[in-house]
Amino acid sequence: MGKTTNQRYQYLLFDIDNTLMDFTAGEKTALFQTMDELGIAISEADYQKYLEINKAAWTRFETGELDSKGVQRVRFEDYAAHLGHARDQGISMNARYVEKLGQQAILLEGAMDLLAQLSRRYKLAVATNGLTLVQRARLQKSGLLPLLSGVFISQEMGLQKPDKAYYSYIMEAFGDRAQDRYLMIGDSLSADISGGVNAGIDTCWYHPAGLEAAEPQPTYTVRGYAELLELLL
């Protein structure tokens, strides 16, 4: 887990997907509901193919090759082609999927209590690479909003993790550019941890599987919320 903090942090920046919410479950439900409404039968193998296509699109987003509209277009054009449909059918697939995904606000067990405890000592914010329509709807439905002092969504900002500018935007919003007062907490080495490193702020890798991080190295690694509370309280 790493050494105990000296309580210097004032702002905790949380990733949303698979850090506070079960995105994996929500994503699968939304995809199967979408395809069912369109009358397209998909298998588990088809679902796994979507995950592969979607991951590739978001990786291109992180590097700046695609913007958020490009992610939405490319992933479902490619998925429609995989399913043997015209690529332009991806437009209707994406529209339905985004609507369905916005309804999936499945909190990870203990997430609400985690933020409730931490909010007594720190200012909390979510920092997510995602679509405004989806993430705003999910946050509203989740009940987390009253605990948050900030909501930072890449599509609204026109910036994305892991860019340093993404975090500069957040610091400007809080009116505090002291890097040592911020801690980025998330499950993604490529977005959350790399982003924090690029911005010169400490990072905490939320990784229930308990594997050792390769690169970049996080400041801390926790396997669950209990370890995170031990670290921060």
What's the CA gap between 135 and 127, in Å, rounded?
Answer: 11
H runs (alpha helix) in the chain = 23-37, 44-62, 68-82, 90-101, 111-118, 132-142, 154-157, 164-174, 194-199, 225-232
Instruction: Give the CA distances from residue 52 to residues 82, 104, 150, 200, in Å, rounded to whole numbers and listed in that order.
Output: 12, 20, 31, 31
Bridge partners, 184 (sequence order): 13, 203
Three-class DSSP category at 204: strand
Cα distance between residue 43 and residue 32, in whole Å: 9
Q: Are strands 202-206 and 182-186 parallel, antiparallel or unpaired?
A: parallel
The DSSP annotation for 137-153 comes to HHHHHHT-GGG-SEEEE
- The catalytic site residues sit at 15, 17
CA–CA distance, 188 with 186 (Å, rounded to integer): 6
Distance of CA 152 to the CA centre of its chain: 11
Say which amino acid occupies 219. T
The first and second tokens of residue 4, run together, are: 């105990």
